[in-house]
Structure 1
Amino acid sequence: MLPPTPNDPGAIRITAVETVVVNAEMRNWILVKVRTDQDGLVGWGEASLNWKTRAVVGAVEDLATMIVGRDPRDIEQVLRVMTKHSYYRLGIVGVTAISGIEHALWDILGKSLGQPVWRLLGGQVRDRVRVYTHLGLGDMRSVYDTVDEGQLRERAAKVVEQGYDALKVVLIPYGGHLSTPADRRHVDRMMSVLRSTVGPDVDIMIDFHARPASPAAALQYIEILGGYDPMFCEEPVAPGDTEALRAVAARTSVPLAAGERLVGLREFLPVLSSKALAVAQPDLNHTGGLLEGKRIAAVADAELVGVAPHNPNGPIAGAAALHFAVSTPNFVIQEEMSGAVDWYDEVVSAPMKRVGSHWEIPTAPGLGVEVDEAAAARHPYEPEVPHSSSAVLGDGTVVDW
């Protein structure tokens, strides 16, 4: 049932919610388009979720029936309809769909007012936004498949040559409850090569991907990594296991980061209150959108925790992250993947303008994105590469990717 139409000559109505799927080789971008009854006024968001493309697209279609006819500028109310009227608590698929729709609502609101979204989220709190990339400058194969010292040296040098002063690597081996001497020697060698290549002043982040199956195994690696002055170690234990994270934090001075797989403020609360994190990493594509991200950031700030949003996704997710960073006081650094494919800028014209290791402040209304749907059609949906299939030990044990 559509909501009652108020006597408001300035009302705007949602008329349709659509998705455009773009295959970016290693993953699909799920772009969300919200149409309105105002000529030319549409909003764009992103709801990309690796290996769940068709599920998210279906969730967007289901949620659309709840919000057609509503005013897209009533963002809080539209979000409540999608969450409260879904009845069952939404998991990662449903909340990712909501996040993409929510981005588009902010885009519409900004365009309707002629203001960039960051202005509506509280205004500007910094003059530029620090960013980091991965080995391969966003190429997902390099991120996960850099396994020898020569590759590491070459790819790290290219990152620094492009002007970045921070990068992240994924080099913790797949493992169980204890690490092996060989694996520890491998991590030591790789970090030695990496630090000698980039120099002492480039920040290095190490993503564990929760591969250690225990705090003890995580600490065995962190003891080695501490000698190379990392910016932080990310997701050293399973997401949501607050006690395990606290056990690691109690025995190291290396800053810890986590949160990309947590959904909403509710799941962040126990982790933030534990004082185990230095940096929280909500994914604005997966945790409920910009409003929920701001709530998480506010609680993190109260707990003396910084925020560095997770974002290995597409260009509209990057635009949302940019506006969040401009307006969030305890923001630390932003992950970005602008080199994920050679044609990254062809489908979406986005406001992220990098100078060195920073994005500039955008000024265009809304999120500042434009989508070329004809270009998008040249890269239709394809099943994503199942990287996680390699997360198997020599004896056949399946472990965390």
Structure 2
Amino acid sequence: MKITSISTVVVNAIHRNWVFVKVQTDQPGLHGWGEATLEWKTRAVLGAVEDLAQFVIGADPRRIEHIFSKMTKFSFWPLGSIGMTAVSAIDQALWDIKAKDLGVPAWQLLGGQVREKVRVYTHMRRARIGAQVGTADIGAFCDAVQETVEMGYNAVKLGFVPYSGYEAPLPDLLHVEKLAQAVRERVGPDVAIMTDFHGRPASPEVAKAYIDVIAPISPLFVEEPIQPGNAIAMADLARRVNCPLATGERLFTPREFAELAEHRAVAHIQPDLSHCGGLTGGRKIAAIAEAGQMGIAPHNPMGPVAGAVALHFDAATPNFVIQEEAVGLVPWFDEIFSHPMRLVQGYWEIPDGLGFGVEINEAAAARHPFKPEIVPALEALLPDGTIANW
């Protein structure tokens, strides 16, 4: 069997362009899908996929580790977020092809099923464009959270913390404290709450100030309390707060996750399987986390291929905790994609279809072509005009 071509399909989803990668083989009807969505870097990722094609076309798609090595080692330069996103999507498509060729769900190739269902969480109102509520009106914010839970979720991730620099003003701290307590009172103790700082605090001290006022509501974790990449600072922060921490969506290599494990810097890691090397990279990272006694809560606010890949990974990963999902992000989600994500009482069911069980209606996808995305990060300014971390 040989790979004959690699093509891409771009679908505009307002805040991001979903980038899907299709790997075609010389076997009639046998192809695989991967997802290379990287917010606001669409054209760069498309170029990286094209650059990597020379290492892949003509190879046997079932030699996944071999092809992964060709893409990463022959590239010579460190691939970074753009290159690793392209690698990840191609890698995912190879797993899809191999599972289809063997006539099994992809999770069978990852060691087999280790759980009966996969716990998931979503964002406020499933992160639907135009449906978000700011933090200023606490009552309206809590109404939206309650509405989200009533969609069938028992876990939700929220943004409590404002754009921050090297200071946590007392009025902001008091408001975040009141907001967090109001959300907990509204949803009760049976709903898991997570909060994403997005690395907004510019120092561990600012992060600690906000974590201290949120910790009493017992969040499942606080995500990216500081910018990623400094495992020592994260570990120091973890030892000074009474709350589990998580990070990893902006880390790409096993070495970076090994540093977190070495310092036991967080309770949970959050690799994104569309950025960290696909399933080939994700499996190595999960093993590192398990050795470091850390849970794994994969990042995924993207399209259906990334969701399906994560579902199969979660079904076969022993130290999995909870999965981020974005099914229904746009109203025409199910018009373009057939996918295996089925929500039942806060969990996804384990799929039994071949490969990832996802297919894209390319004709329908063409109705939503590439457009320059809306970039909400442009709003990230402090009161004096300083650019903040989004």
Give the TM-score normalised by structure 2: 0.98
Aligned to 2:269: 280
Q: 1:155 to 1:127 in 2, by over 3 A?
A: same
Residues 284, 321 of structure 1: 8 Å contact kept: yes
In the alignment, does 2:59 pair up with 1:70?
A: yes
Aligned to 2:92: 103
In the alignment, does 2:171 pair up with 1:192?
A: no
| 1:31 pairs with one of 9, 20, 38 | 20
Residues 110, 120 of structure 1: 8 Å contact kept: yes
CA offset at residue 193 of structure 1? 2.0
Aligned to 2:327: 338
CA offset at residue 361 of structure 1? 0.6
Aligned to 2:40: 51
Aligned to 1:400: 389
Count of residue correspondences = 390
| 2:150 pairs with one of 143, 150, 161 | 161
Aligned to 2:107: 118
SS in 2 for 1:162: coil
After alignment, is 121-130 or 267-276 more displaced? Answer: 267-276
Residues 152, 193 of structure 1: 8 Å contact kept: no
CA offset at residue 92 of structure 1? 0.4
CA offset at residue 269 of structure 1? 1.1
State the distance in 1 between where 2:222 and 2:278 align. 25
Aligned to 2:359: 370
State the distance in 1 between where 2:57 and 2:134 align. 44
In the alignment, does 2:231 pair up with 1:242?
A: yes
Residues 87, 277 of structure 2: 8 Å contact kept: yes
CA offset at residue 138 of structure 1? 2.8
CA offset at residue 155 of structure 1? 1.1
Residues 240, 271 of structure 1: 8 Å contact kept: no
CA offset at residue 48 of structure 1? 0.3
| 1:137 pairs with one of 121, 126, 150 | 126
SS in 2 for 1:136: helix
Aligned-pair identity in percent equals 53
State the distance in 2 between where 1:36 and 1:205 align. 42
Aligned to 2:380: 391
Q: Which amino acid aligns with 1:132?
A: Y
Aligned to 1:6: none
Residues 134, 143 of structure 1: 8 Å contact kept: no
Deviations 1:172-225 (A, max 9, x none): 111111200111012112112211221121110010001011111011011111
State the distance in 2 between where 1:179 and 1:140 align. 29
Q: 1:146 to 1:22 in 2, by over 3 A?
A: farther
Q: Which amino acid aligns with 1:381?
A: F
Give the TM-score normalised by structure 1: 0.95
Residues 22, 376 of structure 1: 8 Å contact kept: yes
Deviations 1:81-123 (A, max 9, x none): 1111111111100000010111110110011000010000110
CA offset at residue 243 of structure 1? 1.8
SS in 2 for 1:240: coil
Unmatched 5+ residue regions in structure 2? none
Q: Which amino acid aligns with 1:190?
A: L
CA offset at residue 142 of structure 1? 4.6
| 1:297 pairs with one of 256, 281, 286 | 286
Residues 152, 343 of structure 2: 8 Å contact kept: no
Aligned to 1:313: 302
State the distance in 2 between where 1:371 and 1:78 align. 24
CA offset at residue 141 of structure 1? 4.8
Q: Which amino acid aligns with 1:52?
A: K
Q: Which amino acid aligns with 2:294?
A: V
CA offset at residue 143 of structure 1? 5.5
Hey, which bits of structure 1, 4+ residues long, moved more than 4 A?
140-147
| 1:128 pairs with one of 109, 117, 124 | 117
Q: Which amino acid aligns with 1:280?
A: I
Q: 1:294 to 1:172 in 2, by over 3 A?
A: same
Q: Which amino acid aligns with 2:312?
A: H
Q: Which amino acid aligns with 1:41?
A: L
Deviations 1:235-284 (A, max 9, x none): 10110111211121111120000011001111111112111211000000
Residues 177, 214 of structure 2: 8 Å contact kept: yes
State the distance in 1 between where 2:132 and 2:69 align. 37
Aligned to 2:217: 228
State the distance in 1 between where 2:317 and 2:207 align. 31
State the distance in 1 between where 2:259 and 2:149 align. 37
State the distance in 2 between where 1:279 and 1:216 align. 21
State the distance in 1 between where 2:267 and 2:207 align. 17
State the distance in 2 between where 1:21 and 1:39 align. 24
CA offset at residue 151 of structure 1? 2.9
- 1:199-214 matches, cutoff 5 A: 199-214=188-203
Q: 1:145 to 1:71 in 2, by over 3 A?
A: farther
Q: Which amino acid aligns with 1:388?
A: A
Deviations 1:160-183 (A, max 9, x none): 111211000012111111200111
CA offset at residue 145 of structure 1? 4.6
Q: 1:83 to 1:282 in 2, by over 3 A?
A: same
